[in-house]
């Protein structure tokens, strides 16, 4: 059974980022970004539904030149007109690695029995 489970699991790309991290990148780079086509201000990240899941990478073949290459991007689209905006996965991943999420401390919850903070 474990062999079946492992064969259906996908490996995580080395440039994968969560949708939350991609949104942090977008807000940091341009917090008030309106669509250049329709001036709309509502965007959707191209990603699966659910919190903390990896953003979908769009891998596009580049056929110009002697050696075919691909380009890996993350994307958002305008909810009003459908304009698609892409950001290089390499650049986003580097920014996320350099800007990790700071852990929030919860001072309001009680310590669990047996921990150093319990009275």
Highest mean pLDDT among 1-5, 8-12, 75-79: 75-79
3 — pLDDT class (breaks 50, 70, 90): very low
Q: Strand locations in 66-109, DSSP E? A: 69-78, 84-88
Q: Which residue has the higher pLDDT, 11 or 97?
A: 97
* pLDDT exceeds 80 at position 36: yes
Domain ranges of the chain: 12-98
> Do the Cβ atoms of 92 and 17 come closer than 8 Å?
yes
pTM, entire model: 0.66
């Amino acid at each position: 059974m474990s062999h079946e489970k492992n064969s259906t699991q996908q490996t995580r790309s080395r440039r994968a980022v969560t949708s939350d991290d991609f949104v942090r990148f977008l807000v940091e780079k341009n917090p008030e970004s309106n669509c250049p086509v329709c001036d709309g201000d509502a965007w959707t990240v191209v990603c699966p539904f659910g919190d903390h899941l990896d953003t979908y990478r769009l891998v596009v073949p580049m056929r110009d030149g002697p050696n075919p290459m691909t380009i890996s991007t993350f994307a958002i689209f305008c909810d009003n007109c459908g304009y698609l905006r892409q950001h290089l996965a390499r650049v986003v991943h580097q920014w996320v690695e350099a800007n990790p999420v700071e852990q929030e401390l919860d001072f309001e919850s009680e310590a669990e029995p047996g921990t150093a903070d319990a009275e």
